[in-house]
Amino acid sequence: MRWDRYVHPDDLANFNKRYEALLEGRSDIYESEYRMRARSGNWRWIMSRGRVTARDAVGRIARLAGVTIDIDARKRMELALRDSEARLRRRR
């Protein structure tokens, strides 16, 4: 089963674009923020960062190090702040 099927549809194109750049050798660094469906069925914001540390003779990834972090609380605060600032600008 592919885990990317749990990525929010609105985030999937950007998620895939960055991942494909890594696989195709156009980048050795991967960083993306996206929503992923949790076991509860709710969407949670996730941040993934990775770096290719070795490629084989034909350029395929031989070694990759990375981390995936739940950033849901931070991202929700950022979005709430952005909405609040937009409402304030409209009132002026």
Q: What are the start-end ranges of the H helices in 1-92?
A: 9-23, 72-91
Q: In whole angstroms, what is the distance from residue 25 CA to residue 84 CA?
A: 41
pLDDT of residue 1: 53
User: How sure is the predictor about 92, in pLDDT bands with cuts at 50, 70 and 90?
Assistant: confident
Residues 6 or more apart from 52 whose CB is under 8 A from it?
A: 22, 28, 29, 61, 63, 64
Mean pLDDT of 38-56: 96
- Average pLDDT score, the chain: 93
* Sign of the torsion angle spanned by Cα atoms 4, 78, 64, 19: positive
Q: What is the pTM of this model?
A: 0.80
pLDDT of residue 29: 96
Which residue in 56, 46, 67, 48 sits closest to 23, CA to CA? Answer: 56
